[in-house]
Amino acid sequence: MPPLPAILYSIFALFAGGLFKGVAGIGLPLVGVPLLTVALSLKQSVATLVMPLIFSNLFQSFEGGQFRPVLRRFWPVHLTLFVTIVFSTRALVAVPERYLFGVIGAALIVIPGIAHLFPRVRLREREERWLGPLTGIVSGLVGGVSSYYGPVLLLYVMWLRLPKAIFVVAISQMYTVGSIGLALGLLAFGVATPAELGISALACAPVFAGLLLGQRVRLRLSERNFSLLILATYLVTGTSFLLRLA
């Protein structure tokens, strides 16, 4: 794709990702990465989204005044996620892009699908104590290999059966930690340069334009439609990655 059309298309892709994230509370990489890979490589797409991921998730972490209580509850997940993803990001350098598409597609379809196949599962407090840190480790490993640390975290948070408002803050905090760890890993292992992260900072503008618009739409969604929207997005995005293996 020629430079100017590629730039304009990338701005559209970033806006679309931000719009969906505003509606669902998640979804910037789910929508943004597949769209960006039309014009950029997978590694370039991941690097472009790093700064918007950090700032958009941090922004949503403060919704509704729930930041501190959610942080106190989920800090063990944050800690294990951060440490694991920093070191496992090396796999983005070592693994061929074709295989990355397969890992991403499978994870996006299988993991959220499990949550909806077992709708009555609800984690109890004693299970949360040990499963939270384990979730951070597993999501960090998956995120390091594929840049998609979200599906495992989503499964965990969905099984906690949190209200929509708490869900958005909790998942946004986890995604903030994951994206900071991913950024450090990308720099440490040479997947991204400081200049590329500077370009990523500029990408925050179209993302936030979409995010603010999407938040208005979310207020009109019921809890059920909100849950179905998240599942549908994971399934469609996962399928799009698997189709690239053909």
pLDDT at 238: 77
Rounded to whole angstroms, what are the CA distances from 208 to 47, 51, 188?
17, 11, 27
pLDDT at 246: 60
The separation between CA 112 and the C-alpha centre of its own chain, rounded to angstroms, equals 13
Nearest to 140 by CA among 132, 130, 128, 152: 152
**Nearest-angstrom CA–CA distance, 172 and 64:** 13
What tens-digit pLDDT sequence spans the chain (246 residues)? Answer: 557 888 899 999 999 999 888 887 777 887 888 889 888 887 788 889 889 989 988 988 988 788 999 999 999 999 999 999 998 887 776 777 677 777 778 777 887 777 677 767 788 878 888 999 999 999 998 887 767 787 788 888 888 888 878 888 999 999 999 999 988 988 888 777 888 888 999 999 999 999 999 888 877 777 777 777 777 777 777 787 777 666
**Nearest-angstrom CA–CA distance, 37 and 47:** 12
pLDDT at 109: 80
Domain interval for residue 20: 3-243
pLDDT at 1: 54
pLDDT at 68: 92
Find the helix or strand (DSSP H, E) in which 129 lies: helix 125-146
Question: How many independent structural domains does the chain possess?
Answer: 1
Positive or negative, the Cα torsion across 90, 231, 10, 242? positive
